[in-house]
Amino acid sequence: MGVPGGSGRGTLSGVKIYADRFPTAARQFLTDLLVIAWVYGAIRFAMWVYDLVQKLAVPGRKLEGAGSGLADNLADAGGKVGRVPLVGDELTAPFERAADAARSMADAGRDQQELVGQLALALAVAVLIFPLGVVLVGWLPLRVGWMRRAGAAKALAAVPAGRDLLALRALASQPLGKLTRIAPDVAEAWRRGDDATVDALAALELRQLGLKGGR
């Protein structure tokens, strides 16, 4: 990311990142920092919500552990009882049923953990929707739009025909008070191709974007 001010700075691979003029560049830089802090804070808050909801899965983990341990112990006991001659098979059946019930308890614990995990993720995403939406829908289009306009204006300012187009845009969009300060009949001066008037109009349009417009 470029640093505001100075020749060649505020530009990345031919794309204008920051304005040339200090007030505009400083405002852009501070806004970018605020946006970064906003996004970071939103992500940290979403992670906090996720961790908080995940604590609800603790009973499920305990239930799974207890059920699995109990099922293993019952199965082991049933195996030992099954080795008793003649009545071993009959004595094993209650242990097997109890072990199945313990496994069902462990499955219920796992299901509870999965449900809590899904809820935690859904809430974390929901928390992020608004702050990221503000950035993606509000700030980003304006920032990228300025970068495109500034890059195009800077390229136009480098050629005489481009400066004429910038002057025409200034005539169409700038306040009348600023236009009349350039010349009493600024439109007529532009139509005559007066260099000083064209340069002043182009500089006015560039200054609106926070760019330097001198040749």
- Confidence grade of residue 123 (pLDDT, cut at 50, 70, 90): very high
Give dist(CA 200, CA 167) in Å, integer. Answer: 8
The whole-chain average pLDDT of the chain stands at: 82
* Spatial CB neighbours of 17, under 8 Å, sequence gap ≥ 6: 1, 2, 10, 11, 147
**What mean pLDDT do residues 125-138 have?**
95
Q: Enumerate residues 6+ apart whose C-beta is below 8 A from 98.
A: 74
Determine the average pLDDT of the residues in 72-84.
Answer: 66
pLDDT-derived band at 208, boundaries 50, 70, 90 = confident
Q: Is the pLDDT of residue 189 over 90?
A: no
- State residue 2 phi and psi, 5-degree precision: -75, 170
Report the SS3 class of residue 185.
coil
pLDDT of the residue at 84: 56
pTM of the model: 0.71
What's the distance, CA 113 to chain centroid? 29
